[in-house]
Amino acid sequence: MKLGLTLWSHNHWQNSFYGKGTKPAQRLAKYASVFNTVEGNTTFYATPSHQTVLNWYSATGDDFRFTFKLPKSITHEKMLSAVREDTYAFLKVMEPLSEKIGQWTIQLPAAFTFEHFGRLKKLHSYFPANAPLGVEVRHKDFFAKGQAEAELNRWLIENSIDRIIMDSRPVFAAPPTSEAVIDAHRKKPQVPVHAIATGQRPVIRFIGHPDLTANFAFFQPWLTKIPLWIEQGIEPYLMIHTPDNVLAPELAVELYQQLQQATSGRLKDLKPFPAHDDLSTSQFDLFYPNL
């Protein structure tokens, strides 16, 4: 399986994760020394330069996988309408990373309904054959277990496209008493958790509670589902969020350790955070008591 976060660069991780001497340009390499995938939000907001793409390639190992989102100009502003040239241009810029793409993420807004389904099918035709694709839907009809959801799931299965699974239960269980939680309640979709693998790389976006221990009860069903998928030869991608992502690395480690126990230790051990080299034993125990 693949384990990652929603970003690789966070100023608050300087002392707790990267190490004090790490420069911003070194953060991806430090991140990739622990985690083996990342949710690439950066491409949602802007297409990177060619040199930036090459830098990302150089900073990551052969087994690392990016799950880059398509630009919002394609998915949200144009709603997949007349986006052939935009899609080709984006894929051309990203081509040097093609062998490290775990999934191209098509995140669709809540305004994208079943009436627009034909646009999604057309967008699929713009990608190379067997390109790893994931679709995240947010309109309520795609969760109602009616015609819209049935036809979407059938088409995804037929084309081996993954349906991205949003598990936002933990964050919506948190009281809106901080700016980060209030912002998460405003921006994150509160949709049912439909744990279905329509392809070979189901992506679980687990949006955590700010109290790390409060997440454990919500994660219990995944301790059964994820090992089952692994036994079936499916490779799950587990992406961990928290409202402000300050403690996302720590939550990811804790949940991964629970999965290791659920799989009888068959998952590889995570490497220590790079910042471990900067901490004394007592400091390290303070930051990461469960490692």
What is the chain's pLDDT, residue by residue, as a tens digit (291 residues)? 999 999 999 999 999 999 988 999 999 999 999 999 999 899 999 999 999 999 999 999 999 999 999 999 999 999 999 999 999 999 999 999 999 999 999 999 999 999 999 999 999 999 999 899 999 999 999 999 999 999 999 999 999 999 999 999 999 999 999 999 999 999 999 999 999 999 999 999 999 999 999 999 999 999 999 999 999 999 999 999 999 999 999 999 999 999 999 999 899 999 999 998 765 433 334 344 443
Give me the domains of the chain, ranges plus CATH numbers.
2-287 (3.20.20.410)
User: Rounded CA gap, 110 and 16, in Å?
Assistant: 36
- pTM of the predicted model as reported, rounded to 2 decimal places: 0.93
What order do you get walking across the sheet with 162-163 strand by strand? Answer: 162-163, 133-136, 101-107, 65-69, 37-40, 2-5, 237-241, 203-207, 165-167
> Any alpha helices (H) in 159-290, and if so which ranges?
169-172, 179-187, 215-219, 222-231, 248-262, 281-287
Please list the residues that pair with 69 across neighbouring strands: 105
User: For the chain, how far is it from start to end, CA to CA, in angstroms?
Assistant: 20
